[in-house]
Structure 1
Amino acid sequence: MNDPTTPGRLTVDATLRMRVLREHVASVYAEYTTAIVAHMGFAICIGCFGYFSIAPAYRLLVVALIAMIVLVDLYALFTSRWTPQVPLSESPYWARKYARIGTLISAMTAPCSLFLAVIQNPMLTTFVTVVIMGSWTRAVQARWPLKAAMFGYGIPMMSGLIISLAWYGGALNWFLAGFAFVNLVLTLSEGVKQNKRLTASLILQFENEALAARLREQIAATERASAEKTRFLAAASHDLRQPMHAIALFGAALGNALRRRPEARHVERLMRAVDALGTSLDAMLDISRLDAGVVQPVPHALELDALFLLLNNTFAMQAERKKLQLRVRASGLWVRSDSQLLYRMLWNLVDNALKYTPQGGVTVVARTRGERVWIEIRDTGIGIAPEQADRIFEEFYQVNNPGRDRSRGLGIGLSIVRRLGRLLDHPIELRSHPGRGTRFRLTMPLAEPMQASQDGLPLQELESPGRHYFRVPELAGRVLLIDDEEDIREAMTELMRTYGFDVVAVAGEAEAVEVLMQSGADAHPVALLMCDYRLAEGAEGLQVGQRLRERFRLDAPMLLITGETAPDRLQRVRACGVPVLFKPVSAGMLMQAIVELVDVDVRPAAR
């Protein structure tokens, strides 16, 4: 058996050795039939040539010798041989068998050389010797993968030629014998080297395949872990959003009830805490929505100064509380991007910079570079070590926050920035010096200015809905609410009744059917159908609502409310074309959604 080793390697795994040997065996057996047939034909030709070139007294010996060679070749041709179906463990047996057959064939062929000197024709002897050495060399090269076969075939045949030439003597025969000996040594020496190269090459190939397989396994494991993380976040987010949604609704209803009483300030504090928790859940939702591919950018020409003004208004108070300088410099530049997604990127970067800057300040600037625009967010904060530069874009990773200080967020903001950068094709560059600060740079296309920035940049949509007064629609009928959570049904009913809506809340499709089939239902038509996306026993609110609208011929619009963050379900929600609100839903968000669904007169609601 070969020794499949490489320089600097003392041992090779036994399975790897066996695989290498199998490849060697497959290589020599690939030309097995051709080699045997060629040898038999060559022996017959040499026999015929010798039969008519030597004295008649030796012709019978020639015939007998050629007959034995042919019989051995026929045995080798028809005996069992290795096939790809042979188990790996049997490779050594077939390697040994191949070597034995090659040695037998070579040993039976060696006596043929004795007749060369009998010819007594120098030119003919030289010609035949060169022909034999040439065919022998080619046959030995075909056996390089197996050293035992190479030596077993090479030495007997060439030794017979060398001995025969030296035995009969004479200058020419001695020269030819020496030439054949040198050819034997050089060919076998080169064969040993080639065997090592072939073995080393196969070892490297198999090791690379093993490394590639392990890499695929690691990638698959990473993908599974990422999918499991996404499922966990989706499940956790959904389960947290349900009670959060109820708290937000009860809090809004309570705030309306206590609007002019001293206790209202407690409700305001409660709602601020709810909003903070909702912001964290929204960050998880953003990750899921981006991973699900449900966020589609709408690039258009937009004025950066309008975005910068909004950023300054948003973060000026936060910077002032930390005694930091916030410089947002006007540029007069226009870029081509999605206003809301770009604002979200900048919002996260500025928010992150302020959190990690204990003194100094944060600067936001924009400048042109050819047909591109650079937006840079610079800070004089704690900086980022080189080994952390890639990790800061991972979910939940935060620099210098081992205690998970909640004031620094969840560590999701930069992960969202990276995803949005890829979605918008806005490359992100990072440059940082620990203790001196950090610079993030976004690159995007330059755009031609338009008549008015308001045409392409709905700034009011970028701000939190809770900051505005909202409008309450006048519905010409009832609201049919379907939600399997009792607390949410009660909270939604209480809230909407404070705004004058007639609400009927049920847990599922069966109860909704009963409501719609009651006598007098036509006198109180359904003006709005609100469904939770995930109902009890695996039912989907979208399908339930569509069946109700078709069965009872309801003209009322439908609104879905969901706490789902699983990417696959978000894709189905987006594909349905029905308006969707994500829990927790504030009173302002709910009223705004209803206003957009129902084309009726609206009245302002005090907050």
Structure 2
Amino acid sequence: MKPDHIRALIAQSPASLTGNAVGFGVMVGVFLPLASPMVLGSWLGAVIVLWLLRLGHWWRYRQRERAGTLDDATLSSWYPSYLVLVLMQGAQWGAAVWLFWDLGTPYHRLALILVSYAYTLGAVQLLVTQGAVFNAFISLVLLPTILRIATDASQPFHWQLAVVLGVIFVATLVIGRTHRSALEQAITLKARTDQLAAQLRIEKAAADAARSAAEAASRAKTQFFAAASHDLRQPLHAMGLFAEALRQRIHDPEVASLVNSINESVDALEGLFGELLDITRIDSGGVEVNPHPVRMKELFTRLRLHFEPLAFEKGLALSFHGERHVAHTDPLLLERILRNLVSNAIRYTEDGGVLVSCRRRGGRLLVQVWDSGIGVSEAALPRIFDEFYQVHTSRPLEAHHRKGLGLGLAIVKRLADLLQAPLRVQSRVDRGTVFTMELPAGIEQRRSERDIAPTKAALGLTLNGRRMVVVEDEAAVREGLVVLLQAWGAQVEAFETVDAVRAWVVHAGTQPPDLLIVDYRLPAGTTGLDALAVLRARWPQASIPAIVVTGSSLGGHEDESSLHDFHLLIKPVLPNKLRAMIAFKLGMR
């Protein structure tokens, strides 16, 4: 195995150890009143010893790395011990199922199953690049669980539950293999593109031929990422919906917390694909700059359309000022920068609001994104635009402050450099942050549009009595969405095709639905826009609000959303985002 891969694996030990510590705490909290002190103490003692061994292994690695005495040969010799410790930790979770299965109620057994499966999902991110190790780890965790369920004749339907968990085990293997293949191909393509880029700088005589090869590799890589992203978003989207539906049926807060962790893992995977696609396209020179006049009014309208539901959910004020100005720049790259900055601002702000402003200074425009969030320390400011750098705050982050790859602001900085737009940041801890970008000014527009003030309200979504229409061709996604909406109290009509919608509206009653949720890509060359047209034609006076869901991350639907009056969500849609959007759409009526 390559030394760089070993370093990446060992560097993830703190996150893995933290997750294991949380799991140990959950197990002790659940089974302390039930288990024999000797059994629980023996298991916990073995767990703690192994946990400390892994911590010591990582600490030695860090000390040697800082001292500069960790060469590749030494690193390779440490890799087997790392794998042994990881696999032993997986075996401990499998043993826990046998030790504690007969204790307590069915809810306690459900907690055991969810803990086991939560750690197999964590292994997708941590170990998936090591195929044999990943397969061995999840086998050590899940196979003992399946065997214990199958041999528990005291419980009804134990064979059926064992079969279901076996199917989940196989599906996890398939997801891991798909994810590993995608990452390996992406890394190979990126390495090839970097090699071509270096050759272009050194061999100027062969510049034209090398540039053509690099552009071809970039297009192939982008197409691969788009296809892989779309295909993987579908099962991730369905997984999130089913997990939320399961959480609605669970009253144990600790088990519900584990289900929330599954949803956060789905969101993290989606963010990972998006960041890898963006940074790879920029590095490979696949991003072209096409400057022309950009009306800030139109750009701010699109940003408001996308982010107002997220701000609404958190009770934040989202404001835009300076819409009359016109900049001379590339509109797509500018919008990508502002989307990233506004998304970060909303994520790390708990009270107050976010302001996007544009004002003139001399012959240039200052475009700024202000927030009243947690801020960044002065020591961390010089590095926030570095790749893979993540700011460490003095207080613990909330669950929704997702820790990704540390590429978001690196993407912003590179796009700003492409636009030749100086970018700077100012921040104060616990007071907020402002990002400022300078752009050339275009033709001044005197008309301005009044800002729409968002309503600050806490969400307590209930859909009792609400009628929903769902159009989705993926059976798993459709079923998961129906189950979730029904759990929230809605009455749901679900269809697979536009033809099925046409057949239904002929016999539908006079009462229109309250909301339409449709997939963009439907069978037989149709789209969700066709379904919207059929449904709205049946009730032309109702102005039925609509949400369109798509698995494509390439964009291009903003103009359609304004023309056909809908809001857009990108798969996988976590239930909390769907809940926020539904509340926002129903609140607009």
Q: What band does the TM-score fall into relative to the shorter chain?
A: 0.3 to 0.5
**Rg larger in structure:** 1
TM-score after normalising by structure 2: 0.40
